[in-house]
Structure formats: C-alpha cells, structure tokens
Structure 1
C-alpha cells in the first residue's frame, strides 16, 4: 500500500508540475490566462531543486541524472552565457540583462523535478499526466474561444484572430505527438506496454482540432501535420482520410466555420503569401544587413529592460523570437555555423546515451526543425526538448522494449535503480 500511495502522490504532484513546465499559465502576449512571473517562479523552483538534489546525492548520482545535468549545463552556458557576453562586447549591455533576456533556456533544468517524480510512478501514470495537462489546456482554449474565460491581458495582440490563444501550446503539441505515436505503434513510447489505439486516435483528433480552431497558430498546425507525416509515413493516408471525414461537416455546412471563429480569409492569404508576414521578412532583412555590415560578428540579444532593447537600432517590431534560426545567426554570427551542428549532434548523442532507441524523440525533433525559420529551436523550445530527454531517460528506467507487453502496476510499480541495468554498448 505504501508503494501505491507514493506512486499516487507522485502522479498528483506531476500534473501541476507539467502545467507549469508546459506553459499552460505562462505569461505571454498570446496567452489570455497567463500569470505574470509564474514562469520565473517555476524556473527558480527547478534551479533550487536541482541544486539541492545535486548536493544531497554527491557521489551517488545515477547515470541518467549525469547525462541530463550535462545537457542542462551545456545549454545554459552556450545559449544564455554566450549571448550575454556578446551583447556586452558589441552593445555594452551589462551581463545581468543579457542573462535575464535568455532566462527561458533554464527550462532545461526542469529535468530534475520531472525525473524525480517520473521514476516513482508507472509509465502509464506519467503519460496520463501529460494527457490530463493537455486536456486542461484544450478545455481552457475552447472556453476562451466561446467567451467563458475572461481575457487577463492588458491589450489584444491579434486583431485578425481575436479568439485565438496559446494556452498550453507545448502541452497540446507534445500530447498530439504522443497520441499519434501510440496510435501508430499500439504501445507506450516509454515502457513498450500495450496501449489502446482507439482512445489515442480520439485524443489526437481533439488536440488537432484545438490547434486548428483554438490556438490558430500557423507554425503549430504545420508542426502537427509534419510530425504526422514523419511518424505515420504510409499510414498518413489513413490519417488524412480520418481527418477529412472529421472535417466534412464544415464543408457541408460552411457556416460552422463562422460559428467556430475560423478566419478563412487570413489562412487563404497565408497560403498565397507563405507562412510568414511582412514584419518577419523585414526583421530577417535587418539581420542580414546588420551581419554583413559587421563582418558576421556575434551580437547577442538585448533586453527591453536596458535602453529599450533593440528599439533604438531597428525599431519597435524587431523580435528575434519571431525569426527562429535567423535569430540564432544574429546572436552568434559566424559562430552559429559551428554552434548549431555541434549542439544538434550533442543533443542527439545525449538522447542516444539515455536510450539507444531514439525514434520518437528524433521524429519530434525533425518536425520542430521544419518550422525552425519561424520558431527558435534552442532558444524557445527548451521545455519541449527537456521533456523529450526525460522520456528517453524513463525508457531506460522502465525497461523499454519494442515488443508489446502487458502493463504491470502492483507487481512491479517501481523500476530498479539504473545502476543495475545493462548499459548499451
């Protein structure tokens, strides 16, 4: 009974932790229920927990913890420390402002709390916690869309799609990935035990519809479709047929589109002009002009807290967060051609060291890289990368096998310590 109680307590604690980690209530211009400084509070908790866990387990850390710690330290030094130094050298911005500007990278330290709770529960419970978090985000997105939830933002940021929201967008995407992968394989991506295909295909439809009608973010819709093609391959035809059947009422009754508030004119214009806009193109032009004028020297990133950031140099609509890999080029200059491939290789190497089967993680990562020109991979997706790394670690702890196996709960609720596991050669 004590084992079951500990497992249940860990499961209950994991849900609010994932709500924080996957940005359900994170403050942003597109989150109508965002809470100011909640992300910073979560990052402080993660850093403190990692520090104390490290102190209390000196000399006894497991292999998985050491690998994940290496990933977190590397990401922090390279993607927080270096841009802060470069902005100090190029613009004279004090280091503290550069560190604050790139603080979102610290989501990589969320691995410690996720691993601590994840190892004390079954793989099924860990997966259910993600699905519950994503369902909460989906329900809130629909509630906001139909005016049930109030808008807590000071000002509206999207006049062409006023009912859109980014409530828990990372949770929705990860849950969609998980459901499609499980529907395709019929087994858990963590421990290889059998899962219901029917349940997961229904949940995948719910999350996809939420991304299309609730979130209404072009790059996330493209991301979901790309992952579907990469994951299902030949089965993509089946998924296309299912999606067509699901969307058929909207073609038969076009007024349903208006009821759900889908801005068809906006998406039609997006198809004609591409998945970008004039502001992004202007920002990219500024970046290449700046790099060519300054011999591709690293420039780092500026904080609005110091001299209004980039506004005196490029105007009010210059945002590195909107231009993905081009923002990385601006931060690192010519060094980006070294840092990007080295970092991708190291991330893959660490995932491989955690568990030799990297199929799910690599597929999810490749899908993210497709939208890299619109969303910074290293700078803005560390919460997602961290979660995928934790899944790799849990696969080892839960004895993942590609063969289907019945899920056990009472007889073997805990994995053995990783030190007892055979290491991949």
Structure 2
C-alpha cells in the first residue's frame, strides 16, 4: 500500500524502497515468463504488459521530444506504472492455489490497518515527518512547513488507495449478516468506523468522503431497515460523543463548515482549474500531440515550466491526455472498458471482495477529473486485474467463450483436461 515508500508528499519512508519493490516485481515477472516458461498468453497478461510498456516508454519519449528531458528521467517519473506488475505474482499464485481470494481479502484488511496505525502516529506527531533522507527538491519543501497548521493539519495519505475498498468490504460483509449486533457484525461495524475516522482525521480527502457516503447508500439500497438501524447507531454515537466531548465536537463541526465552504464557494481560480486550463491550451498548441511527464529531479520539472502547483496527478484523465495526446483516447477507452467487462463477467458472484472491486471501478468512473488510478493506481488495480483474471478464467463457467475471445489462452493448461 506504499506507506513505506519515500515520495514528495511524505518524506518518512525508506529510501529506495519503492525502487526495490519495482525491481522485485520485474524480477518475478521475468522469472515467471522467461525462465519458468509460465507465460500463458492470456489477454489479461498482454494487456498489463501493453499498459506498462506503453506508459514507461512513450511518455519519456514524448517528454524528450517536447522538453529535451533525458529518457532516464522520464522513466524515473513513470516508475509507478510498474506497480501493475503485481498482477503476475498474484495471478500465478491464484492459479497454483498458493493463495485464495479470501486470503487476499484478509491481507488487504491487515495491511490497511497497519497503514492506519502508522498514519495516525505521524498525524499525532508521535513519529516525526522529516527524518532521514528526503527526495524533496528545493522550492517544494516549504509546503511541508504548513503540514501541521490550518484546519486540515496533520493530513497524510498512507493507505488511501485502499481505504474505499476496505470500507466496502466492511459494509458488504455487514450487509450479509442477519443480525446487526452479532459478534461478527460488530467487528465489521468497527472496521467501517475505523475507515471513516481515518478518512476524517488523517486522509481528509473531500471527494473520498462523498464517495463513502454514496457507497453506503448503494450497498444498502435494497435494505431500508438495515439503513434505519445504522442511522440509529450513528445518531446514538454522535449524541454520546457530543455529551462527553462538547468542545472537541464543536471543533469538528467548524472543520466541516470550512471544508464545505472551501469546496462550494468560489475563491478565485483554483489550482486544479489552472492546471486543466494549462493542459488544454498546451495540447491544442501542440496539435494534440502528447508532451509526456517531467520529473522534479530534472531541472525542477513542471515547476520551472508552468508553476510550482502543476501536477499531472492532480487532474486525472487530463493528466493522461497531456502525456499522450490523441493516443490517450484508445488507451483510456480500453482501460475502463476492460475494467468493466472483467469486473462484471459473472454478476451473480456476491463475494465481498468481488463486489467491492466492482464498486471501486464504477466509483472511479464517477470521478474522472480527480482520479489518477490509471497511472498511479497500479498496486490497487494490478491486484484487481489478477483477481478478475483468475475468476474469469478458472472459476466462472465461461471457458469456451473466453478461449474464443482470446486466441492466446491455453484451455488445456488451465483445466488439466484434453477438452474444454
């Protein structure tokens, strides 16, 4: 989940740990495909390699042509796309029965709780932020001076990419239980509460707050009585908190009002609006040809070209459009098309992790401007692809149809039989 990675937004990680992680993934991928000859030639494998290869090569090339940035720096900037290679060890692990879908669900929850613990320690300043080596560049480092000031003080994003998924797992498991106050139900309610509290106090992302509310309404859309029950529990909890900690509760209300005001009132051009306008102007001025991505490690990156708040990761699909220009259209189309087709390959599969993956994909489509899952969500969606590939190829009774759709798929290897 990346909480040990050193990056520009959190200088508390382990130096070069992300690079070590990527090297391990590359080694496993090469070992499974080349040395062990376990390459099965499925469409899923080809798609992951196409997505990774096109991004790690094309974006640096376009940045070199547009700005003269060396290819090596462009590949450094796009190294996060290599996180999608998590697909290969997970996919083959599932095929060989070394791991199961249920085991992956447990690991996700345990790893997220570790992120919650670490993120909370940093938010409470028990662990110091700026310790050890930092990859920060001069000029961007002053942003960290305001880390513990303002109404969004102590904001960290450890494990945020899995926060919605874990919350979905909690409420979907809760939805399946007949009694709200059983031991199992209380466990899932506590996990959901941990997710909400962690989002409010540490991650502090407004769009994620709206998504969690929408997720809850959609998950319980056919269980009105359960919604009423949860409403009573929430109301009782709020009354209890206000009665025991009135001053603290008042501070939270003020924070909510400020968040709402900042999100709904116009205070002049916003950073993302300015970034989007720059991207639109630049792409049209460049005849719809992509311009790649610049690394902060090379002459200050985009900070020296546009402004110090210009980040492609902040504007979702616009950032992909800037990278690839017209080539972004088929890439984006097939990315989300494949996600939806694979996720809904067997709609009657109601296992919590499968349903949670479906919801995560659909909700990502609802937030295209701010969602950067395609280029920065590799560790999440590489996991999704592995689970969905395994389910569609092995567990769902559609092998004949899928083998026709993918001429590369060896049906005999998977089934262990002479015919499908």
- Residues 213-362 of structure 1 correspond to what in structure 2 (within 5 A)? 213-235=201-223, 237-238=227-228, 239=230, 242-252=233-243, 253-257=245-249, 263-273=255-265, 278-351=270-343, 357=349, 359-362=355-358
Measure how far apart 1:51 and its partner are: 0.8
Q: What residue in structure 2 maps to residue 164 of structure 1?
A: 155
Find 1:125's aligned residue among 103, 107, 115.
103
Q: What residue in structure 2 maps to residue 95 of structure 1?
A: 71
User: Structure 2 vs 1, CA of residues 117 and 278 (structure 1 numbering), >3 Å: closer, same or farther?
Assistant: same
Find 2:15's aligned residue among 28, 36, 50.
36
Measure how far apart 1:61 and its partner are: 4.3
Distance 2:29 2:104 in 1: 20
Q: Normalising to structure 1: TM-score of the pair?
A: 0.76
Distance 2:10 2:418 in 1: 45
Q: What residue in structure 1 maps to residue 26 of structure 2?
A: 47
Q: What residue in structure 1 maps to residue 118 of structure 2?
A: 140
Distance 1:323 1:70 in 2: 28
| Worse-superposed segment, 99-108 or 354-363 | 354-363
Specify every segment of 5 or more residues in structure 1 that has no aligned partner in the other structure, as ranges: 1-21, 188-194, 402-416
User: Structure 2 vs 1, CA of residues 107 and 240 (structure 1 numbering), >3 Å: closer, same or farther?
Assistant: farther
Residue aligned with 1:285, SS: helix
Distance 2:50 2:81 in 1: 11
Measure how far apart 1:175 and its partner are: 1.5
Residue aligned with 1:233, SS: coil
| Worse-superposed segment, 374-383 or 157-166 | 157-166
Work out whether residues 101 and 387 of structure 2, in 8 Å CA contact, stay in contact via their aligned partners in 1.
Answer: no
Structure 1: 4+ residue segments shifted above 6 A: 258-262, 274-277, 353-356, 421-424
Work out whether residues 62 and 418 of structure 1, in 8 Å CA contact, stay in contact via their aligned partners in 2.
Answer: no
Residue aligned with 2:325, SS: helix
Measure how far apart 1:115 and its partner are: 3.7
Q: What residue in structure 2 maps to residue 383 of structure 1?
A: 379
Distance 1:91 1:397 in 2: 44
Residue aligned with 2:327, SS: helix
Query: Per-residue displacement from partner, 1:48-87 (whole Å, max 9, x unpaired)?
Result: 11111112432x5457xx4442232021123332222222
Measure how far apart 1:95 and its partner are: 2.3
User: Structure 2 vs 1, CA of residues 310 and 142 (structure 1 numbering), >3 Å: closer, same or farther?
Assistant: closer
| Worse-superposed segment, 363-372 or 291-300 | 291-300
Correspondence 1:24 to 2:3: yes
| Worse-superposed segment, 236-245 or 221-230 | 236-245
Distance 2:268 2:391 in 1: 38
Aligned length: 378
Measure how far apart 1:125 and its partner are: 3.1
Residue aligned with 1:299, SS: coil
Work out whether residues 60 and 74 of structure 2, in 8 Å CA contact, stay in contact via their aligned partners in 1.
Answer: yes
Query: Per-residue displacement from partner, 1:126-180 (whole Å, max 9, x unpaired)?
Result: 3222111111111222333333222236634534223221122223332212222
User: Structure 2 vs 1, CA of residues 85 and 372 (structure 1 numbering), >3 Å: closer, same or farther?
Assistant: same
- Residues 47-196 of structure 1 correspond to what in structure 2 (within 5 A)? 47-58=26-37, 60-61=38-39, 66-117=42-93, 119-152=97-130, 155-156=144-145, 158=147, 159-160=149-150, 161-185=152-176, 196=184
Measure how far apart 1:268 and its partner are: 3.1
Distance 2:256 2:296 in 1: 35
User: Structure 2 vs 1, CA of residues 331 and 388 (structure 1 numbering), >3 Å: closer, same or farther?
Assistant: same
Specify every segment of 5 or more residues in structure 2 that has no aligned partner in the other structure, as ranges: 135-143, 398-412
Q: Normalising to structure 2: TM-score of the pair?
A: 0.77
| Worse-superposed segment, 258-267 or 33-42 | 258-267
Residue aligned with 1:81, SS: helix
